[in-house]
Structure formats: C-alpha cells, structure tokens
Amino acid sequence: MEIHVIEKAEKISNYDLQGSQLVAIDVLRATSTMVTAFKNGALKIIPVMKTQQAFNIKKSNSQVILGGERGGVKISGFHLGNSPAEYTPENVYGKTIVMTTTNGTRLIQNSLAAESIYIGCLLNAKAVAEKLNKTRVFLACAGTRGYFSPEDFMAAGAIAWHLIQSKNVALNEKAKRAVEFFKGVKNRAEFLKLFPHGNLLIQRGFEKDISYCCQLDTIPVVPRYYCGSLYV
C-alpha cells in the first residue's frame, strides 16, 4: 500500500486519483464536525460549495438543516455553524444536514476523481486507518485558504502512523514527515493555538473546539462520500 500526503486542497489536481482511496482532512473544523454529527445520530450530510446551493436545497426540502461557516462565523440564516459543540444529538439526530465551509467542503469537491472518499480527522484516525485497503491511498489536507495547516498535516500523520502499525505500507516523503510531525507534538491543542487558524478560532470564541478536535481516536465513525452525500 502506497501512502501519499497532499498538503492542501489546491495541490490535489497534481495527482492521479483514479482507483485510489482518499481521506479528506480538515481538523479545524469541518471534518471533525462531520464525524461528531454522525456520532450523534445525523442521517446524512450533503456537502456543497456555495451558500446559495444550501438555501436552494432547503427550499426543496424543508426538513433539512443548514450548517456551515465563512471565516469561522456561522452563515446568516443557517441553523448551525461549524463548531462540533453545536452538533448535539438534540440538534442532529435523524437529520439530513446541508453543509458548506470555507475549506472542508471545497476539499471534498476537489477530490471527486478518487474511487472512494472518506472523512478523517484526529478524532477518528485509527478507525479511518482500519478502512483503508487500496494499493494507493491519499491523505488529503484541506489547508486554510490556500495555506498549509499544521493540524491537517498532524492528522494525516496520525492516520499514517496507525497504518504502519498494522499494514505493509510505503510512505511518500510527505507522509514520512507527517508521521514524525504527529509523533513530535506532545500537546496538540496548545501547539495549534500558536498558529493563525488557532488564533482565529480563539478570537471567535471557539477555543474549546481546538481542544476537542485535538483528541485522538475517540470516535470510531468513518463517514464516506457517495453520490453527493456523506453516510456512515
């Protein structure tokens, strides 16, 4: 099994994804929120690129709820933002969620050439690794507005580290660096607060989200993208 790490969504077009498995990673916060929503009973999530797409789906199906953000802030007219703390059983159990975020949903859209797409983060790193079985696997980091995001690279390293423990794998150079990066950071939440994305979340009042999203292997749920929606 070949493991490749892609450091940001804009780089995905440089890779041949045909026949591969891809893990979409946006730790702060889209994929962490998606995993949390499914853990708390969400029926499915429809990721979309544009706010208006979400509103259009809502017009045709009043039962869906809208979730997402722009610049870390809940979109006006949406039921939920992009904080995993909002995606409680009371809010999402049995519901279909239409979601759009600054980076995460764009990452999924950019990855559609892969044979299968899974949603990964630190919360479900081990469970994701257990799903992977193709010859070529891409661990794709969302990044933040076109820039490298250390939290996504760290989660890619966590997934690759789990793969090393149980499977015969060959890591590309970025995957090797991601594993070492993951192993080298002892306090993930405090480390990420030093970077711009962490600082932005603190400024927006979401410091607790950083600590939550930095938990490792706490949710054994792996959403998969199929025909325009995510399911478990």
pLDDT above 90 (res 146): no
Q: How far is the CA of 214 from the CAs of 98, 136, 207, in angstroms?
A: 25, 27, 11
pLDDT of residue 111: 97
pLDDT of residue 95: 98
pLDDT of residue 45: 98
pLDDT above 90 (res 155): yes
Asked whether the beta carbons of 136 and 65 are under 8 A apart, the reply is no
For residue 124, name the pLDDT band (cuts at 50, 70, 90): very high
pLDDT of residue 170: 96
Please give the share of the chain, as a percent, with pLDDT higher than 90.
97
Using the structure block, give the residue that is written with the tokens 């989200």: 209
Domain around 61: 2-231
Average pLDDT, the chain: 97
What is the total count of domains within the chain? 1
34-78: per-residue pLDDT in tens?
Answer: 999 999 999 999 999 999 999 999 999 999 999 999 989 999 999
Write phi, then psi, for 39 (nearest 5 degrees): -60, -35
Using the structure block, give the residue that is written with the tokens 């990673």: 25
CATH number at residue 99: 3.90.1560.10
165-186: per-residue pLDDT in tens?
Answer: 988 999 999 999 999 999 999 9
For residue 122, name the pLDDT band (cuts at 50, 70, 90): very high
Residue 30: CB atoms within 10 A of its CB come to 30
Residue 181's H or E segment, with its range, is helix 173-184
Determine the average pLDDT of the residues in 210-230.
98
pLDDT above 90 (res 9): yes
Tell which residue, 95, 67, 83, has the closest CA to residue 32: 83
pLDDT above 90 (res 201): yes
76-94: per-residue pLDDT in tens?
Answer: 999 999 999 999 999 999 9
pLDDT above 90 (res 145): no
For residue 10, name the pLDDT band (cuts at 50, 70, 90): very high
